[in-house]
Chains A and B, each alone.
Chain A
């Protein structure tokens, strides 16, 4: 017999909201979505710039160091843009740091594309990001208690244990 809805819900994760919002939270893992409007002509600019933006993703996100995955999507016939991220820890406390650190990366893509976005160092842009951030209605996180730092540490441990076992074999 197929499991009942109640039986399936027995594996539900403990989902909370980020302190002071936005975004949901499971364990150490948080999510956030930002949805902005695209300026006329923004689609063309976006497509011109996106390849280099993609190429630099590893550099900037490694620098930030707490992001598990990150996406940018232009949709609705070049009228809207979606940015989403899955990351470790709280959102608001780190917002100023993240904008500071990854600001130049966003500045190479967003001016002229995202309506209201001037420069990451501009107070108005910071406020725009806060205003256009949304919380997911449903969220699942795999291994929600492992941060990127934990995963890196475990990989280091695994490699060390393998090296030890290899040297003994």
Chain B
């Protein structure tokens, strides 16, 4: 095991989201490659790394990522471009049928640009205060100032709602893998993952060095981010709970069974009967559970619940699936205003989640989880059934609990995809390689 080269890795890979958080995603379209390189040159000294990620000097970061289309416009050589993973080369919109982004989630309905229609360069900004965020946004604007042929195509602000929870009412961001070499010690229940699952240039779970396209200088300490914008239909979720439970307590239990955690974040596995906020707030206990021995059939944490699908822990041991090959590092953040408590009809406002899923192998990590675990049920003997929150609902729209034994029907598309892309997040050395080796035509 080698220590991660933290000062060469962009900060978002390792830094935990501040609480509360204020973030912005800025999307730029490149019309002039020379300007894009100047933008990069100006940004380079400002890009925040993962150095001192546990106690950063500044509670804010700015990172830069590229779509494959953006790298192509910059002028990366063809033999390098062709070496990117298939998923990155094709772009997320082209993968929509496989990923289940169909119907209302289809790319023609997306409102965030993707590769090929405007997302060439993305700036990822996250901060612990509005002032710190605005400082980072100013860096982004200064970097493009006066440059012809760089179009600010989109801005999406994210921030922790006043409820301190995402829009469906859940505390999120509790579970994440511990990356070998990141420093510190893993929390109880935190799986230990090889660094090469999340950062290129290190050994992965197959015993290989995770590598990227072209020279090592370009990809070492870089990674890929599957960026997803998901609109949440909060009113529909509330109506579903109301219509399928007889009491407020019953609604909370149903919500918890769909998620696998009570809305406080307390895992059902640790407190099956009632919420336990003290448990939820204790990092030594709130993630310390497995399924295979205690709950193999999903009587406590339903097999089809969101957290058990997204991270089956040991539930699939003894099957074809090796959980270690399908881990994700998830960075979720909310956008849009809160639907006031008790409101049961949609107010037409856009609200939801932006999820940045960090993975060194988009095919066997994000795309596997999305296609096999979110949008199918065969791996848990549930046929076509999909995730109650994140799954497509055109194949199946039901959800099953074993205690009580009940099949809930008519789940709506509570979360709809409104944007998505596979982005390349180079290391600092990779950014320098681009500046030193790419010559615009």
Q: Which residues of A contact B (CB under 8 A)?
A: 19-20, 28, 63-66, 88-90, 92-94, 96-98, 100-101, 121, 123, 147, 149-150, 152-153
Residues of B within 8 A of A63 (CB): 318-320
Instruction: Using A63-B319, A88-B378 as known contacts, list a sample of 6 further A-B pairs with CB atoms less than 8 Å apart, ordered by residue number in A.
Output: A19-B371, A66-B378, A90-B371, A96-B364, A147-B378, A152-B381
Q: Which residue of B lies closest to A102 (CB)?
A: B320
- B77 interface residue (CB < 8 Å to A): no
Query: Contacts A20-B86, A28-B378, A153-B381 given: A93-B372 contact, CB under 8 Å?
Result: yes
Residues of A within 8 A of B318 (CB): 63
Are A150 and B383 neighbours in the complex by a CB distance under 8 Å? Answer: yes
Supply 21 A–B pairs (Cβ within 8 Å), ascending by A: A19-B98, A20-B86, A20-B98, A63-B318, A65-B319, A65-B320, A88-B378, A89-B378, A92-B363, A93-B367, A93-B371, A93-B372, A94-B321, A94-B372, A96-B206, A97-B320, A97-B325, A100-B206, A101-B320, A147-B378, A153-B381
Query: Min CB distance, A120 to chain B, in Å?
Result: 11
Are A64 and B371 neighbours in the complex by a CB distance under 8 Å? Answer: no
CA A63 to CA B318, docked complex, whole Å: 7
- B208 interface residue (CB < 8 Å to A): yes
Partner of B363 from the list A28, A93, A98 (CB cut-off 8 Å) is: A93
Are A97 and B208 neighbours in the complex by a CB distance under 8 Å? Answer: no
CA A66 to CA B319, docked complex, whole Å: 9
Residues of A within 8 A of B367 (CB): 93
Q: Which residue of A lies closest to B324 (CB)?
A: A100
Query: Min CB distance, A22 to chain B, in Å?
Result: 13
CA A65 to CA B97, docked complex, whole Å: 26
CA A2 to CA B103, docked complex, whole Å: 43
Partner of B320 from the list A64, A90, A92, A147 (CB cut-off 8 Å) is: A64
Are B320 and A94 neighbours in the complex by a CB distance under 8 Å? Answer: yes
Residues of B within 8 A of A64 (CB): 320
Q: Which residue of B lies closest to A93 (CB)?
A: B368
Q: Which residue of A lies closest to B380 (CB)?
A: A149
- B350 interface residue (CB < 8 Å to A): no
0 or 1 for each of B370-409: is its CB under 8 Å from A? (1 = yes): 0110001010010100000000000000000000000000
CA A147 to CA B385, docked complex, whole Å: 13
- B207 interface residue (CB < 8 Å to A): yes
Are A100 and B381 neighbours in the complex by a CB distance under 8 Å? Answer: no
Partner of A98 from the list B207, B320, B378 (CB cut-off 8 Å) is: B320
Which of B337-390 touch A at CB < 8 Å? 363-364, 367-368, 371-372, 376, 378, 381, 383
Query: Min CB distance, B320 to chain A, in Å?
Result: 5
Are B378 and A100 neighbours in the complex by a CB distance under 8 Å? Answer: no
CA A121 to CA B207, docked complex, whole Å: 8
Query: Contacts A90-B372, A123-B208 given: A97-B378 contact, CB under 8 Å?
Result: no
Residues of A within 8 A of B98 (CB): 19-20
Which of A63, A65, A152, A153 has the most CB atoms of chain B within a 10 A radius of its CB?
A65
0 or 1 for each of B85-117: is its CB under 8 Å from A? (1 = yes): 010000000000110000000000000000000
CA A106 to CA B381, docked complex, whole Å: 27
CA A66 to CA B371, docked complex, whole Å: 16
Q: Which residue of B lies closest to A88 (CB)?
A: B378
Residues of B within 8 A of A28 (CB): 378
